[in-house]
Amino acid sequence: MNDEHSDNQHSGGLWGRLRQGLSKTRAQLAEGVGNLLLGEREIDDRVLDDLETALLITDVGVDTTTDIMNDLAQRVRRKELNNTRALHQALASLLTKRLAPLEKPLRIGDKTPHIIFFVGVNGVGKTTTIGKLAKQLQNEGRQVILAAGDTFRAAAVEQLQAWGERNGVPVIAQAQGSDSASVVYDAVQSAQAKGADVVLVDTAGRLQAKTHLMDELTKVHRVVKRLDENAPHDVILVLDGGIGQNALSQVSLFNQAVPLTGLVITKLDGSAKAGVLFAIAALNNIDVPVHFIGVGEGIDDMRPFVARSFVDALLAQDITEQVEG
Ligand SMILES: Nc1nc2c(ncn2[C@@H]2O[C@H](COP(=O)(O)OP(=O)(O)O)[C@@H](O)[C@H]2O)c(=O)[nH]1
Ligand SMILES: [Mg+2]
C-alpha cells in the first residue's frame, strides 16, 4: 500500500482546470500576471509597477507582495534579471518558496482505524471533500467508513449517503437532529469491529450558532477519545478558496475548538484568488499544511497540494492562444 497520494496526474487535465479557474482571476487584469511578463522584453519601472498591482489583485497579500517586489527590484538593479523571462522565473521561484512549507501529503498511519474529522463552515465543501477522498483512499486499497456527523440538516445526511453509495462505502448515520457525538462514536466502534482502515467524519458547520457549534465539536472530540485516545488522528479544516485572506479568521476560530492538523482548500477552479494560500503560509503562530486542493465538484476533482504546480498555474501565460490565434 502506498501511504502517499500519487501525483501522477500532476501535469494532466486537472491542473489545466486549476489554471483555467485561476485565469478568471488573471482576467480581472488587463493582462494576467504571467502575460505581463510574456516574451523577452526589457524590464522597466512600468513592468515592475504592473507586476506589483497584479500580485495585489491576485490577493497575494500586501506584506508578501512588498517583500517579493523589493527582492525582484534589487535583483533588477544588480542586473541579475535582464528581461521579463528571467523576471517571470524569479517570481515563480519566490512564490513557490513561500508556499512550499504548506506542502504535506496526508498520511494514514499504521494504527487503524485512522479517524479524520472534517470541520469548517457551511458550504465550504466538507461533504464533497469526504466523497472525493473516500474514492482516493479506496483506490489505495483502504477500507473506508463515513460518519454523518452533520446531524443538523436531513439534507446533509442524505448528501453523505449519496457519496457513500457512489463509492460503495458504508455510511454510519442517525436521524436528523440526533446527537453528533453518538453518530461518530457508533462509526468508530463499527470501524474497530470491522477492522476498517479510515473513518471520515463529516461535521456541522453552521456559524450562526458559533458557541454551540464549537461546543459540539469539542464534545465529539472528547467522546471519540474514549474509544481511541489517539483519535482523531487528523482534524482537517476545509476552506473555500474564494474567500481570500479572510480564511485566516476561520483557521484560528476552529483551531481553538479542536487543534487542526491540516487543511483542504476547495473551489480553486472558481473565481479563485491565491490569497488563502499565501495568507496561511504567512501565519507564524499556527502551523497547518495544505493536504489537498479542490478544483471542481466532481469525484476526481481534488489534487494533492504541490506548491510549484500551483504557482505555475497562477503564473501561466496564454502562449497557446498566441501561437494558435
Ligand atoms: N467548483 C467547486 N465546487 C465545489 C468544490 N468543492 C465543493 N464544491 C461545491 O460547493 C457546494 C457545497 O459543498 P458541500 O460539500 O455541501 O459543503 P459543506 O457544507 O461544507 O459540506 C456544493 O455545491 C459542492 O458541489 C470545488 O472544489 N470546486
Ligand atoms: Mg456538508
pLDDT tens digits, the chain, 325 residues: what are they?
A: 444 344 434 444 556 676 766 665 554 433 467 777 777 889 999 999 989 988 888 888 899 999 999 999 999 999 999 999 999 999 999 999 999 999 999 999 889 999 999 999 999 999 999 999 999 999 999 999 999 999 988 899 999 999 999 999 999 999 988 999 999 999 999 999 999 999 999 999 877 566 788 888 999 999 999 999 999 999 999 999 888 777 888 998 899 889 999 999 999 887 556 788 998 998 877 789 999 999 999 999 999 999 999 998 888 776 554 443 3
Retrieve residue 81's grid coordinates.
Answer: 534579471
Q: Would you state the cell numbers that stand for residue 135, as one nine-digit string?
A: 474514492
Strands 198-202 and 302-304, bridge-based pairing: unpaired
Collapsed DSSP state (helix, strand, coil) of residue 42:
strand
300 lines ligand 1 (CB under 6 A): no
From the CB of 267, is ligand 1 less than 6 Å away? yes
Which stretch of DSSP H or E encloses residue 234? strand 234-240
Whether residue 91 sits in one domain with residue 154: no
Q: Report d(CA 40, CA 37) in Å as an integer.
A: 8
Is 8 part of any domain? no
Between the CA of 242 and the centroid of ligand 2 the distance, in Å, is 18
Cα distance between residue 204 and residue 217, in whole Å: 9
**Claim to verify: residue 193 and residue 235 sit in the same structural domain:** yes
Do 175 and 228 belong together in one domain?
yes
45: in domain: yes
Give the DSSP H/E element, type plus range, for residue 144.
Answer: strand 144-148
* Structural domains in the chain (count): 2
Distance 281 CA to ligand 1 centre (A): 23
- Cα 297 to averaged position of ligand 1 atoms, centre (Å): 6
Verify whether ligand 1 is closer than 6 Å to residue 275 (CB atom): no
Q: Nearest residue CA, atom 22 of ligand 1? A: 125
3-state secondary structure of 93: helix
C-alpha closest to that of 207 among 199, 216, 198 = 216
Which pLDDT score is estimated for 186? Answer: 97
CATH code (residue 35): 1.20.120.140
φ and ψ at residue 77, rounded to 5 degrees: -60, -40
CATH number where 201 lies: 3.40.50.300
For a mutational test of ligand 1's pocket, the pick from 146, 297, 305, i.e. the residue with the most ligand atoms closer than 8 A to its C-beta, is: 297
Residues 85 and 121 in one domain: no
Residues 183 and 132 in one domain: yes
CA-closest residue to ligand 1 atom 6: 125
Verify that 45 and 135 share a domain, yes or no. no
- Nearest ligand to residue 129 Cα: 1
CB < 8 Å & 24+ apart, contacts of 168-171: 168/138, 169/134, 169/138, 169/144, 169/145, 170/145, 170/146, 171/145, 171/146, 171/147
Same domain, 74 and 158: no
Q: What is the DSSP letter of 83?
A: B
Decide if 2 is inside a domain. Answer: no
Q: What is the pLDDT of residue 116?
A: 98
In a domain, 108, yes or no: no
- Nearest alpha carbon, ligand 1 atom 1: 296
Q: Is 3 helix (H, G, I), strand (E, B) or coil?
A: coil
Residue 6 resides in a domain = no
In a domain, residue 1? The reply is no
- Distance separating alpha carbons of residues 282 and 64, to the nearest angstrom: 8
Q: Which domain holds residue 246?
A: 114-305
For ligand 1, whether the C-beta of 132 sits within 6 Å is no
| Residues 35 and 56 both lie in one domain | yes
What are the grid coordinates assigned to 29, written together?
487584469
Ligand 1 geometric centre to CA of 136 (Å): 17
**Residues 21, 129: one domain?**
no
- Same domain? For 128 and 92 the reply is no
In a domain, 44, yes or no: yes
170 three-class SS: coil
Please give the distance, rounded to the nearest whole angstrom, from the Cα atom of residue 51 to the centre of ligand 2: 39
Transcribe 244-308 into DSSP letters: GGGHHHHHHHHHHHS---EEEEE-TTSS--SHHHHHHHH-SS----EEEEE-SSSTT-EEE--HH
Q: How far, in Å, from the CA of 159 to the mean position of ligand 2?
A: 7
Q: Do 300 and 320 belong to one domain?
A: no
- Residue 95 main-chain phi, psi, to 5 deg: -65, -40
Q: Which ligand is nearest to the CA of 270?
A: 1
DSSP H or E run through 117: strand 114-119
Judgement on whether residues 98 and 135 belong to the same structural domain of the protein: no
For 242, phi and psi rounded to 5 degrees?
Answer: -75, -15
Tell me, yes or no, whether 194 lies in a domain: yes
